[in-house]
Structure 1
Amino acid sequence: MPLLPLPRSNAGPSLLSELMMNKYYFHQPFNRQMAMFKMIGIKLPASTINGWFQGSCDLLRALYARLKEIVLKSDYIQVDESTIPVISNEKHKAQKAYLWMVRSVMNNLVFFHYDKGSRAQKVILPLLKDFQGALQTDGYQAYSIYEQKKGVLLLGCWAHARRKFSESLKEDKTGAEYALAQIAKIYQVEQMATDQNMNYKQRAELRKRLAYPIMRAFEKWIEGYYPKALQGGKMSKALVYTYNLFLRLSRYHLDGRYLPDNNGAENAIRPVAVGRKGYLFCGNHDAAENAAIMYSLLGCCKASDVNPREWLTDVFSKIALYNSNYDLDLADLLPHNWKKSNSCQNIPKTPTSFD
């Protein structure tokens, strides 16, 4: 018998891979998978599958910790949050909890973090306590503290500002259309740099020459237009939101690596939104933490264009050795490194509903 991933279990790497991938990549709850197995004559009790799930996540926990370490050592990250329903033992019903997402832009790596479902600032402070570099977020107030932290450059998201003005079109078409046109000009500069295959230094110089004057003029327009907007209306709120964050929004021009928005983070977090429509909720905080592990590692598979079935099967067959031998670096098993070492570029890409 080959060495199996879980002690006292006959579940092989390919079976564990299929269960995990179907739930966290194709968003099929375990009860649906049980029904599918039953149709081909295989009866798997819920307790057995839940045990395999917990055991699989325990196997991958150290790899997940290594991923977090690598992401937080990078010097440019994007952070966002998404809701995930979790059953409360006290109230015996699902309550809204939060997963935090951290994405290393240059390495194209992502991890999710769960801390009792809290969205409070007390969660992000210890998580990013050693981070140094550029931090890109939306306008959530919890991130404001990083304006004062030495070594951290706080960046904003033009996509969020644009969304506010789009929502104002029906209320103030003239003002909203003007604002959207100015933001479009900013993105036209980005497209110009892309079309000309500019490197990071050239892109930063182009932004300084073309985009920064547009942003400065837009800021002055906001100051002059605010008294004309309906107080308390959508246009007024869009102007206040953009004006209060203008320093963050304009800083992306300082470095050609920085992006004008954190759309990449929102794309990385989308599977959580799709998944919660399928399995509806997590049974407890432990299950939510395990979900964070699976979303993190499978999210890296998607970012590196790695076949998740191939990757999970191989990792489940090797992870016990890596967990017990400290001379081996778990980072070698992360999807982007695994892809290089296994020359798996030619593996057919799995059709996915992960988007």
Structure 2
Amino acid sequence: MSDCPIYHNFLTGDGKMIYYDYQPGRGGERPLNILKDFNGHLQADGYAVYDELPLENITVFYCMAHARRKIYDAQSNNEKLASYALQEIAKLYAIEQACQEEQLNEEQIKDRRNKESLPILKALGDWMKIEYQQLRPKSLIAQAFAYSIKRWEKLSLYAHTGNLMIDNNAIERCMRNVAVGRKNYLFCGSHDAAQRAGLLYSLLVTCKLNNVNPYNWLKDVLSRDINEMPINQIKTLLPYNWKEQ
């Protein structure tokens, strides 16, 4: 898999900007270069490269939706165990939805999660460890539980805060643009072309995230003489800062 082309997708915590970084391989060198000056939390899908980043300033945590999907797919193997786990995970999502509907602030969300989410997470994690001991290791349900058990601490990390998300579904939705494009045009033609496509994805999807019409943005930005703009004004042309004239 080391020579498999991949887009590393990075979405900012405020959801205003996304960066599609194309690489011809799946090694960890490129994410390391991009994140070396980053300080904060990084939510990932379980891709081992991110967990192995030798950076003390980054705290990696995982996406509950990915763990849920593996359990969901194991229902045909053991419906009873999978259904119970999905039921408990649904409670976690119900808490998140309630926080959103009640428009709670960061401190209130943290308090709600501490009181309601953390006990569910602890009980579910302990339960999976016990049940796993009774399962055939190669069964679908055992593999699904093993995935979560190995990552449970980092799957639960969000609940210790009031600002982190339970999953990274927001960036998963952004990745659909690449999937749709790949289905339509099949190939970029070269690694260089794929990198250019990544830059275009980054700009145009960032427009979408900020409710900016991509055509109007491109028409305006490309018609300007950027060489005549003060360097400190260039950032005003980014989609999340841009104002339609």
Measured against the shorter chain, the TM-score band is over 0.9
Amino acid at match of 2:47: Y
Farther-moved stretch of structure 1 (263-272 vs 137-146): 137-146
Work out whether residues 157 and 261 of structure 1, in 8 Å CA contact, stay in contact via their aligned partners in 2.
yes
- Counterparts in 2 of 1:222-233, with a 5 A limit? 222-233=128-139
1 or 2 for the larger relative contact order (CA 8 Å, sep ≥6)? 1
Q: 1:99 to 1:209 in 2, by over 3 A?
A: same
* Partners of 2:46 and 2:236 in 1: CA distance: 36
Work out whether residues 36 and 55 of structure 2, in 8 Å CA contact, stay in contact via their aligned partners in 1.
no
Aligned partner of 2:221 in structure 1 is 315
The DSSP-based 3-state class of the residue aligned with 2:112 is helix
Alpha-carbon deviation of 1:288? 0.7
Alpha-carbon deviations, 1:263-319, whole Å to 9, x = none?
01101111000001111101111111110110000011110111111111001101x
Aligned partner of 2:240 in structure 1 is 336
Q: Does 1:111 align with 2:15?
A: no
Alpha-carbon deviations, 1:229-260, whole Å to 9, x = none?
23201101111100111111111012222100
Amino acid at match of 1:225: E
**Could you tell me the TM-score, scaled by structure 1's length?**
0.66
In structure 2, runs of 5+ residues without a counterpart are none
Kindly report the root-mean-square deviation, in angstroms, between the aligned alpha carbons of the 2 structures: 1.7
**Could you tell me the TM-score, scaled by structure 2's length?**
0.94
Identity %: 35
* Partners of 2:113 and 2:200 in 1: CA distance: 38
Q: Does 1:292 align with 2:198?
A: yes
Alpha-carbon deviation of 1:228? 1.9
**Aligned residue among 320, 327, 332 for 2:231:** 327
Structure 1 stretches of at least 4 aligned residues deviating more than 3 Å after TM superposition? 323-328
- Counterparts in 2 of 1:104-143, with a 5 A limit? 104-115=12-23, 117-143=24-50
Work out whether residues 22 and 195 of structure 2, in 8 Å CA contact, stay in contact via their aligned partners in 1.
yes
Amino acid at match of 1:246: W
* Partners of 1:290 and 1:149 in 2: CA distance: 28
Alpha-carbon deviation of 1:323? 4.2
In structure 1, runs of 5+ residues without a counterpart are 1-94, 344-355
Amino acid at match of 1:327: I
* Partners of 2:73 and 2:15 in 1: CA distance: 34
Alpha-carbon deviations, 1:326-346, whole Å to 9, x = none?
4343211111111xx337xxx
Aligned partner of 2:155 in structure 1 is 249
* Partners of 1:241 and 1:324 in 2: CA distance: 54
* Partners of 2:40 and 2:220 in 1: CA distance: 34
Q: Does 1:202 align with 2:108?
A: yes
Work out whether residues 109 and 162 of structure 2, in 8 Å CA contact, stay in contact via their aligned partners in 1.
yes
The DSSP-based 3-state class of the residue aligned with 2:155 is helix
* Partners of 2:58 and 2:205 in 1: CA distance: 26
Work out whether residues 38 and 58 of structure 2, in 8 Å CA contact, stay in contact via their aligned partners in 1.
yes
**Aligned residue among 172, 179, 186 for 1:280:** 186
* Partners of 1:204 and 1:165 in 2: CA distance: 27
Alpha-carbon deviations, 1:146-184, whole Å to 9, x = none?
4x6322121110000000000110100000001101111
* Partners of 1:324 and 1:271 in 2: CA distance: 34
